[in-house]
A = this chain, B = another copy of it.
Amino acid sequence: MTELAIIAAISIFTAGLTVAIGSIGPALGEGRAAAAAIAAIAQQPDAAPTLSRTLFVSLAMIESTAIYCFVVAMIIIFANPFWDAMQAAAGV
């Protein structure tokens, strides 16, 4: 059963690390885009709708990389094929 423990330990550690590291880039990138949008609206209030739309599309695009990480972490915790195979092999 030691093998199951290794798989479980690695899965827990990887799931946490994935969302943790995966939050750095998107958070900084979204911060930058949001800062630019806010400065742009202050400079050109008339173009606010266009700017907001561009901002939200960009945020969604950037957020997608964070969501990849979240999805992979969820798969690793709740739908981990290696864990299932191992448990089946161990007859649990």
Contacts and interface: CB of A to CB of B under 8 A. Distances in A.
Count of identical protomers in the assembly: 14
Contacts of A52: 54
Nearest to A61: B59
Interface residues of A, number: 81
A15 B63 contact: no
Contacts of A62: 27, 30-31, 34
A18 to B, nearest CB: 4
28 contacts: A2-B3, A6-B9, A7-B9, A8-B85, A8-B86, A10-B13, A11-B12, A12-B14, A15-B16, A16-B69, A19-B20, A23-B65, A26-B65, A29-B29, A29-B34, A31-B62, A32-B32, A35-B35, A36-B36, A41-B54, A42-B43, A42-B51, A45-B50, A48-B50, A77-B81, A77-B82, A82-B83, A85-B92
